[in-house]
Amino acid sequence: MRQKTKIINYYKIDDKDLPDDLKEKILDKLRQNDWFNDNWFAEDDYICEPEVFHGFAPTAWDLASGGNYIQFEFGTCANSDPDEDILDIAALDALRKWLGIPKTTWDKVDYIFINDDHHNTYLEFTDAESGDLIHQSFHEIFPWDFKFLEDAIKKFDEMMDKALVTLREAYEYQISDENMIDMAEANDWEFDESGEIV
C-alpha cells in the first residue's frame, strides 16, 4: 500500500511568490471574520471638535449610500437646568464661546441637541422662558441675536459633517487592503491555499 502525502503550502501576506488570486482570497476572508465586524472605527471619542465634545463617541451612524449620517448623545440640554445637563458650567461656557454666541444672547435661549432618524445630530435653540423654538418674531430676540444663533447652528452642522467624513474615512481604512495587510503582517499570520489562517 502506498500512501500519498499532500504537500500544503503556507504563505505570508508579504511573500513575493504569493499568487495574486490567493492574496485577494486571503483579503476577502479576513474581511469576513467576525472579529473584523467590530465597530472599532467608531470608538473615537475625539471625532468632534472642539474639546467640549471630546469624550463623546458616535452612538448611531449610517455610512451606506443613501444613509450617510452620524449621531451623538450630547444630551437634550438646556441652560435653565444645569443639573440635568451632561456638560458642566465650564463646558457650557466653552460651548457658547466656540459657537460664537455672546453671553447676552446666550442668556435668552436654551439649546437642544436632536437626533432624528437618518440625520446628523443637529442643534436648535428655544426661548429660555417659553421653550418655543426661536424665530425672528420673538420680541426679546433681536436681529443680531438671531444671526448669532443661525451662525452657531451652521457651525455645529459643519462640525457634524466633518465628523461624518472622519467616521467614513476610518471605516474605509478598516475595510481596506492596506489594513488587512498590516494586520496580517503585525500578527505574523500564515495562510493556506484556501486563504484560511493556519
**DSSP string of 119-162, one letter each residue:** S--EEEEEETTT-PBP-TT-TTS-HHHHHHHHHHHHHHHHHHHH
What is the model's pTM? 0.79
The C-alpha cell at 84 is 440635568
Which stretches does DSSP call E strand in the chain?
A: 60-62, 69-71, 109-114, 122-127
Q: What is the pLDDT of residue 144?
A: 92
3-state helix, strand, coil in the chain (%, to 5): 40, 10, 45
Q: Cβ–Cβ contacts within 10 Å for residue 26, how many?
A: 24
Q: What is the pLDDT of residue 5?
A: 57
Which residues, given as ranges, of the chain have pLDDT below 70? Answer: 1-6, 34-37, 65-67, 75-87, 135-139
The C-alpha cell at 127 is 426661548
Domain ranges of the chain: 44-186
